[in-house]
Structure 1
Amino acid sequence: MKKTIIILILIGFSTYSCSNSSSLSKRKNDISDYGLNGKVKSLKSEVFSLIQQKDTFRIGNKENSSGLDRNITIEFNQDGKLDFEKEYYANGKLINEVLYTYDKDNKLINRKEIDNYGKGSFYDNEFLYNSKDSITKWIMSNNDFKRIHKIKRDDKNRPVKMEIFQNDTIVYVYKIEYDKYDNIISEKEFKSKDIPIKIIDRTFNEYHLKSKEKVVEYNTWDTLVYESHFFYNSDRNLTLEKHNIENDSSLTEIKNSYYENGKLKESVSKPIGSSYFVITVEKFNKKGDLIEHSRIPSDESPKEIWEYKYKYDYKDNWIEKINFKDNKPLRIIKRSIQYYE
């Protein structure tokens, strides 16, 4: 499991919200995490090939999952929390599944990950809570493995430290610090008790929006130090990010524009400081769905453009997406969505 995911889980499972320091503070439930609207009961997604026929195309055979386009079935409970996720091959064989169990107060107490590909390995994730319904211990285990995450919280119930034990030995430590406005200003990651791996320091503007982030990574052979700077418009939307700044001539510049409804309209990423680079442009519709992704090399290599066309249901959830590359049809994803109401 990626260590960054551990930090997100540590913060995300807390009932405490860290102001604007994290998008997790805006989290509603699992339904919103999937970008869905309404009281969704279930979602079934299937991927099919598209076959070009003169000026049109037809739907071909079912395909295996590709990137974010997946053959999955998901069910939610009435509180918008996940009951299970299952992913399938094109032939219908189950690849993997994740099962969720809640207590009488609808708190997640177990998340079981089952890999049905190969030997059918699994991981059980058990969660224990304090009197304020925030996680204080997370136990990950299977038949041959056990790892315990102990989470310390301050008097505001904010997560401030996590120690990860394996075979009664500390293998990782994570520390979080806040400013007086509850913004996360520091994240520190250590191997064992005190061997630094990564340190992140942040500053925020008067609106509690992240304005600067400095990252120090301690690798085996060297230490990487880089910064990111963030700039906003009068609506407090991020309009410019200078990312991974190593010096004045080595960085990535990301420029964003927005619709009147506040949804992201276009994002342009341009590396600076290299003789060869690729500009990435992403365009979105007013619903927030990606409609175009393009790669523009700095040399004479051809530009690549992926386009996406959607059909929506009465809740404004897309139920059909057609993928094109350089005007040629690639695949179609069909989604069947059921609602409680």
Structure 2
Amino acid sequence: MKKRILSLLLFVFSAFLWGQSKNDTEKVGLKGKVKSVEITLYQAFEENGSVKKKAPLEQGIYDEFRLNQFRLLHRLGAIKHFVDFLGQIIPCYITYNQDGNITTLVAYPKTDREYHKSFQYKENQIIKQQTHDSEGTILEITSYEYDSQNRLTKEVFENKRNDGGVIWKYRYNDKNQITESDYYDIDGTWMGKEIYEYENGNLARKITRNDNGQPFVTASYTYNSEQKLIRIDFEAKNNFTHLSTFTYNENYLSEEKMLIGNDNGILTKYNNNQEITSQITLSTNEEIIFQYTYDDKENWITMTTFEFGKPSRIVERKIAYYP
């Protein structure tokens, strides 16, 4: 039953829980009135002292399996900023409306994994998201409902591939903070609950309970005197433990350390644009270096990664702007 719950949790990943006020361009750090973004990845190599690119790659920074693992941990409460940053880097073409929200996305174009997403809004709130394949066959539909205070109260995810899905219902306190979310199978069978506890106005704990009412995941949050998140302790019923710590340079996140078990983990470093500059695998001390070039809006348009001192990947972003 637990595996069934975890698979359902993967289907619905609500960004509103961790940043409801931002539009989609702000969530990914884009500046200016962005109209569209095209992302292409290439394998890189060095020749005569210059970094050059080979044919385009068909997958992103992370493969889908690993990305889904990270998304599940995030959904359960283990926030990872490096996943928010690197997880968006896949071969794709994205369009935005003038409010800065996504209207269409074509992922993995011209491959056997190609899929399309479309997004519908009402008064700047998303009300429907639909996924279809390259031939137009609908694969997934997610619909959203809000109350009179514009708070998300219900999500319905329908998996058209197998007639499965999940329903989420949300409740809030008088401070408009989410306090509970119940999730159901698409047939209405109750599957479990997420409970949110607050201290001094900050989220202190997130507890996920299974259909027996027993907690199987608990995430606890610690803040500094400036109310910035500095630590997440994550523990699952199967003795899986996970620790994340965050270090700041004034108002900017500068380091994020993720530890799984005793010595396995990743140290990620950021610049003041909140772009990754380095990732170190702690168990091996192997480091990936990230270098960027920028357009006149200060959005990065190329990212080059270096592993073992040699170029490994080039990411290009073609960004178009509204006049």
In the other structure, the counterpart of 2:168 is 174
In the other structure, the counterpart of 1:63 is 57
Q: Does 1:239 align with 2:234?
A: no
CA positional deviation for 1:239:
0.8
In the other structure, the counterpart of 1:330 is 312
Unaligned runs of 5+ in 1: 13-21, 128-134, 137-152
**Which has more helix, going by share of residues?**
2
**Local SS of the residue matching 1:316:** coil
Whether the 8 Å contact between 2:140 and 2:157 is mirrored in structure 1 is no
Q: Considering Cα pairs closer than 8 Å and 6+ residues apart, tell me whether 1 or 2 has the greater RCO.
A: 2
In the other structure, the counterpart of 1:19 is none
**Alignment partners' CA distance in 2, 1:76 and 1:209:** 32
CA positional deviation for 1:323:
1.3
Question: Quick one: which amino acid aligns to residue 122 of structure 1?
Answer: I
**Alignment partners' CA distance in 2, 1:109 and 1:160:** 12
Larger Rg: 1
Q: How does 1:71-220 map to 2 (within 5 A)?
A: 71-89=91-109, 95-100=114-119, 111-116=129-134, 121-123=137-139, 125=141, 135-136=144-145, 156=149, 158-160=151-153, 172-191=166-185, 196-206=190-200, 208-218=201-211
1:17-58 deviations in whole A, cap 9, x for unaligned?
A: xxxxx323322x222233211101222222222123365432
**Which has more strand, going by share of residues?**
1
> CA, structure 1 residues 212+166, in 2 after alignment: closer, same or farther (shift >3 Å)?
closer
CA positional deviation for 1:271:
3.2
1:108-156 deviations in whole A, cap 9, x for unaligned?
A: 666442312xx653247486xxxxxxx54xxxxxxxxxxxxxxxx6564
**Alignment partners' CA distance in 2, 1:124 and 1:245:** 29
Question: Quick one: which amino acid aligns to residue 269 of structure 2?
Answer: K
> CA, structure 1 residues 23+258, in 2 after alignment: closer, same or farther (shift >3 Å)?
same
**Local SS of the residue matching 1:286:** coil
Whether the 8 Å contact between 2:141 and 2:158 is mirrored in structure 1 is no
In the other structure, the counterpart of 2:219 is 228
Which of 253, 257, 262 aligns to 2:247? It is 257
**Alignment partners' CA distance in 2, 1:63 and 1:40:** 25
> CA, structure 1 residues 114+205, in 2 after alignment: closer, same or farther (shift >3 Å)?
same
**Alignment partners' CA distance in 2, 1:33 and 1:47:** 21
In the other structure, the counterpart of 1:15 is none
Q: Does 1:292 align with 2:298?
A: no
In the other structure, the counterpart of 1:23 is 18
Whether the 8 Å contact between 2:256 and 2:269 is mirrored in structure 1 is yes
**Local SS of the residue matching 1:26:** coil
| Worse-superposed segment, 308-317 or 179-188 | 179-188
Which of 288, 303, 311 aligns to 1:306? It is 288
Whether the 8 Å contact between 2:153 and 2:170 is mirrored in structure 1 is yes
Whether the 8 Å contact between 1:306 and 1:324 is mirrored in structure 2 is yes
> CA, structure 1 residues 195+329, in 2 after alignment: closer, same or farther (shift >3 Å)?
same
CA positional deviation for 1:254:
1.5
In the other structure, the counterpart of 2:77 is none
Question: Quick one: which amino acid aligns to residue 34 of structure 1?
Answer: V
In the other structure, the counterpart of 2:67 is none
> CA, structure 1 residues 84+193, in 2 after alignment: closer, same or farther (shift >3 Å)?
closer
**Alignment partners' CA distance in 2, 1:166 and 1:328:** 42
Question: Quick one: which amino acid aligns to residue 271 of structure 1?
Answer: I
> CA, structure 1 residues 316+5, in 2 after alignment: closer, same or farther (shift >3 Å)?
farther
**Alignment partners' CA distance in 1, 2:54 and 2:157:** 48
CA positional deviation for 1:78:
2.3
CA positional deviation for 1:96:
2.6
Question: Quick one: which amino acid aligns to residue 322 of structure 1?
Answer: T
Q: Does 1:36 align with 2:30?
A: yes
Q: Normalization by structure 2: what TM-score? A: 0.74
**Alignment partners' CA distance in 2, 1:203 and 1:311:** 42
**Alignment partners' CA distance in 2, 1:74 and 1:171:** 26
Q: Normalization by structure 1: what TM-score? A: 0.70
Whether the 8 Å contact between 2:142 and 2:157 is mirrored in structure 1 is no
**Alignment partners' CA distance in 1, 2:117 and 2:111:** 17
